[in-house]
Structure 1
Amino acid sequence: MAYTLGIDIGTYETKGVLVDAAGAVHAQASRGHQMLVPQPGWAEHRPEEDWWGDFVYVCRTLLRDSGVDPADIKAVACSAIGPCMLPVDAQGAPLMNGVLYGVDGRAEAEVRALTDRIGEDTIIARCGNALTSQSVGPKILWLKHSHPEIYANTAHILTSTSFLVQRLTGEVVIDHYTAANFSPLYDVETQDWIDDLADDILPLDKLPRLMWSNEIAGHVTRAAAEATGLVPGTPVTAGTIDAAAEALSVGVDRPGDMMMMYGSTIFIILRAQSKVTDPRIWYAPWLFAGEHASMAGLATSGTLTHWFRDQVARDLDPAEAFPALANEAAASPPGANGLLMLPYFSGERTPIHNIHAKGALFGLNLTHTRGDMYRALIEGIAHGTRHVTDTFAELGQSPTRLLAVGGGTKNALWLQATSNITGIDQIVCEKTVGASYGDAFLAALAIGTVERPEISTWNPAAHSITATPSASYDAAHDLFLRLYAQTKDIARALG
């Protein structure tokens, strides 16, 4: 029997699967970790412990629990949160914690300065994306300004997936989909690194070699084999960002397919027919040469439900809290008895790109219950999601089908509220394992044991959620947008 191994590093958890050539999952394993917030607006991981340490633990657990001979694992693929920024020395050792994706807003001054200097129109034309907290280029410049001693010792800037691939193979590579987030250092037309827009950020030889996600980056080294239990010489793909692997896992493969990932954040990927550039959303080459993707993401989603459980539902058993809260929220009518929540607890990414945005629960009176508040939270995330899907519609990019995936798909209230508020039906596939399953499929693609259309047989549709739009939700959405517009200056003034 031939197997492929997929491991994904998420914001709060690492997950792995061992999959056979027919797509059957033979073992699953996971390990939790924390997102470090050393100060408001910052977000970090420890690369040795949270990325490589988790990879080793999950890999060894999968081998132990499955009883599979490591020699029968024919390829490995990994994905991770991204885009991240990690400086490493000439030996590949991290020089600091990994700076996370768009939830980390430390480079605000650099974003503003680079945009003013280069011009937003030029950046979008060349790089496909406006500079935001999601962009890696400004974070490298922040490193240069804030920690010149680390910058001086930096041999390469890696992202989370690149770090794992380097540990496994010794190769310093990055996939094009991830690299497109390194604005203003990546040109979406030439699909190559550039420094003519900003030659003061980093010498280009300190950036990883560019590859496509279905290409083999290298092979497991003897040192990595000793750490993980894998066989030396096992092929390893270039990998990608977790959301892209998650999209692939549920069959996002044709133009018009859209993934909605219900995780610590909502992340959306649309397989686009052509390149679409707009400052409100993100663009990247898709995982395969000649293809395109449009992306969007909220800053807090599942993270917000965890916050609510930990702060407002301390009387509940943490293991049973979410079903109990869902039952309380189900007793509250649509509209949460007049409550509105802005879910901007870590600022917001698309489409407003405002790291100063704040969370708010508006409309409270003495009759409101915890169930009302939790329903308002779920609906607030859904209104934030509609703000994104309406933006896609304005750009002529409405999906032909929407595939939902992630841990949040277990929350029926959240799924239904999202469909009702956005007006879009959703499909949930048989397997909601997520990015690690997409990694296993990418590994199989890379060694030629499957073709791309086979993902529909690996992971067929299981059920759908039918949207039930209403005028009351339309009115609430208008109020949601007005509440943000009328409070954003106050939010910024709060600091």
Structure 2
Amino acid sequence: MKSNYYALGLDFGTKSVRCLAVNIASGEERAVAVSEYLDGVITDKLPGTSITLDRDWALQNPQNWLDSLNKVVHQVLKDGKIKPETVVGIGISFTASTILPTTDDGIPLCALPKWSCEPHAWPKLWKHHAAQSDADLINNIARQESEPWLKRYGGLISSEWLFPKALQVFRESRECFNSAKRFIEAGDWIVWKLVGRETRSACQAGYKALWNNISGYPSNLFLEKLNNEFSQLTNKLGKEVYPVGTCSGGLTIEMASRLKLLPGTPVGTAIIDAHSAVAGVGVADPGKMIMVMGTSTCHMVLDQKEVFTAGVAGVVRDGIIPGYYGYESGQSAVGDIFSWITEYGVPKSYHNEAKKSGVSLHELLINKATSQKAGSHGIVALDWLNGNRSVLMNSDLKGVLVGLTLKTKPEDIYRALVEATAFGTRIIIEAYEENGLNIEELYTCGSLVNNPLIMQIYSDVTGRPIKVASSSQATALGAAILGSVAAGPEYGGYGSYAEAIKKMTVPAKKTYKSNRENLEIYNKIFVDYKLLHDFFGRNNPSIMKNL
């Protein structure tokens, strides 16, 4: 394999797209570029119109994706001094579930004059939560009918996913629904635009569209129970679903010209952004849990067997790494909780102290909390300030602090909340292990990994080593790895994910090991955490819902 060949990883986020060029032989991150979407997240009015959106709507402009795509690819080629003939493949990761209705040939309905003023013709971003009643209906009928696919999602699907969003369009704009020949994930649509051929990824279809490699999508009989004629949706989902890492095709002449790349450059099937990070942190086999830690945390596990466990938001064959079942769980608030305490739980004297010391409030609280001995503050918290995703799957739950006294300080609460999120992760780990999925070590990436207090507490609470990804762009790196696998040896890429990951990632930049003394202390506190967890979350959830 020649040394100066590159894969491009395109990571489409909520507000911007990032392109990372990676040397496929050495793993060197040659160049990176970011471009923000011109219209951002559309929550008030449709662009160029006076049409206002209702509450909980969140749309995007697909032309923004293409414009930003052009910018970042051009910039990376320029900054990295990369010649088009040295780009072996392209990988796509996209935040999900972001759904758009299109024509038969992939034109977004919102790009057509007839539909430009219809909100339902525009892509619905993952943050679009106006389909909650539709999700409730799907969940209720699926439970009544004992639908077999429901257990793959922990017994509950989200309003963010494809079926609730499509059902909302069906109910509120039947003409728009009928005119749409396809409902497709944005990541799959980008691939369609690049290669001129519609292909669907097992990742998007499996985790966000209730698809399974054996039974496919939910049956037409079930869809008709949701609403008469809603089974038409099945014909709008495409027929071809492929594992991640599959080559969807080569760049069309038109797209190659726009991007200044060579026609025929291989493009891989799309992957969800968080799931892309699994490869980006260097994981290609079972026994490991990957945590993408930011405002919330996404937990992912690989295994060769399929089991169903509480709190799993999806289990999909070939959805993360080909040849494995990929499991996803999560905590709906983590970094957001730490931001909450600094915004609302710190007196003026702390602001003054932080300013005088030249540090942020976060840093001040970290410094004060780090000096504490494990368990010394006497507080146990429940980390449900934004509900509980795993394992209770209940958005009505709320946070709890037990043990406050007149001597409790902000750093006590800060540390207790960090510990609570770590206990929440331990709950998830134990749920997996109770069902035969062994987890020996943790890998992590995201915005929280530079906080040593958080990393050490997580290691101490879980009793497992935590390896921090070397790349600060693990998601884009994972997409680049996907691109190199899509290229395959024929085009200068790799024949397997394992081979690509070995060559294109470097060992963890830091490993946190559990402190035995702290682990023993946290084992005792965890008993109390579980008591509170079960009392409020399992036995008396109505207390918080009624507040």
TM-score, L = length of structure 1? 0.86
Is the partner of 2:456 in helix, strand or coil? helix
- Partner residue in 2 for 1:24: 28
Pairing of 1:71-470 with structure 2 (within 5 A): 71-90=85-104, 91-94=107-110, 95-100=121-126, 106=132, 107-120=134-147, 122-124=148-150, 130-133=155-158, 135-182=161-208, 184=210, 186-190=211-215, 194-199=219-224, 200-208=230-238, 209-225=240-256, 228-281=259-312, 282-286=314-318, 287=320, 289-309=322-342, 315=351, 320-335=360-375, 337-448=377-488, 449-450=493-494, 451-454=496-499, 455-462=501-508, 463-468=510-515, 469-470=518-519
Bigger CA radius of gyration: 2
Would the alpha carbon gap of residues 108 and 348 (structure 1) be closer, same or farther in structure 2, given more than 3 Å must change?
A: farther
Contact 2:332/2:387 (<8 A) preserved: yes
**2:75, 2:392 → 1: CA distance?**
41
- Partner residue in 1 for 2:545: 492
Q: Which moved more, 1:143-152 or 1:408-417?
A: 143-152
Q: Which moved more, 1:301-310 or 1:409-418?
A: 301-310
**1:11, 1:339 → 2: CA distance?**
36
How far residue 394 of structure 1 moved from its aligned partner, in angstroms, is: 1.1
**1:391, 1:151 → 2: CA distance?**
40
**1:177, 1:284 → 2: CA distance?**
7
Contact 1:98/1:160 (<8 A) preserved: no
How far residue 434 of structure 1 moved from its aligned partner, in angstroms, is: 0.8
How far residue 473 of structure 1 moved from its aligned partner, in angstroms, is: 2.0
**1:365, 1:83 → 2: CA distance?**
43
Matched, 1:10 2:19: no
Is the partner of 1:64 in helix, strand or coil? helix
Would the alpha carbon gap of residues 339 and 202 (structure 1) be closer, same or farther in structure 2, given more than 3 Å must change?
A: farther
Would the alpha carbon gap of residues 351 and 453 (structure 1) be closer, same or farther in structure 2, given more than 3 Å must change?
A: same
Contact 2:109/2:180 (<8 A) preserved: no
Structure 2: 5+ residue runs without aligned partners? 45-52, 111-120, 225-229
Contact 1:102/1:132 (<8 A) preserved: no
Contact 2:162/2:209 (<8 A) preserved: yes
**1:344, 1:96 → 2: CA distance?**
33
Q: For each residue in 1:245-285, what CA deviation from the matched residue of structure 2 results, as whole angstroms up to 9, or x when unmatched?
A: 11012222123233122233211211112111235312111
Matched, 1:477 2:526: yes
How far residue 397 of structure 1 moved from its aligned partner, in angstroms, is: 0.9
How far residue 445 of structure 1 moved from its aligned partner, in angstroms, is: 1.2
Would the alpha carbon gap of residues 89 and 213 (structure 1) be closer, same or farther in structure 2, given more than 3 Å must change?
A: same
Is the partner of 2:449 in helix, strand or coil? helix
Structure 1: 5+ residue runs without aligned partners? none
Aligned residue pairs: how many? 491
**1:351, 1:112 → 2: CA distance?**
17
Q: For each residue in 1:233-253, what CA deviation from the matched residue of structure 2 results, as whole angstroms up to 9, or x when unmatched?
A: 332111211222110122221
How far residue 207 of structure 1 moved from its aligned partner, in angstroms, is: 1.0
Q: Which moved more, 1:47-56 or 1:31-40?
A: 31-40
**2:125, 2:276 → 1: CA distance?**
21
Contact 1:266/1:385 (<8 A) preserved: no
Q: For each residue in 1:97-143, what CA deviation from the matched residue of structure 2 results, as whole angstroms up to 9, or x when unmatched?
A: 424179887244223333234215x2346x67533216532343233
Q: For each residue in 1:136-189, what CA deviation from the matched residue of structure 2 results, as whole angstroms up to 9, or x when unmatched?
A: 3234323323444543332222223123223333433221122112454x2343
**Matched residues, percent identical?**
22
Would the alpha carbon gap of residues 255 and 102 (structure 1) be closer, same or farther in structure 2, given more than 3 Å must change?
A: farther
Root-mean-square deviation (CA), in Å?
Answer: 3.4
Is the partner of 2:298 in helix, strand or coil? strand
**2:525, 2:42 → 1: CA distance?**
35
How far residue 217 of structure 1 moved from its aligned partner, in angstroms, is: 1.5
- Partner residue in 2 for 1:59: 73
- Partner residue in 1 for 2:50: none
Would the alpha carbon gap of residues 135 and 338 (structure 1) be closer, same or farther in structure 2, given more than 3 Å must change?
A: farther
Contact 2:209/2:217 (<8 A) preserved: no
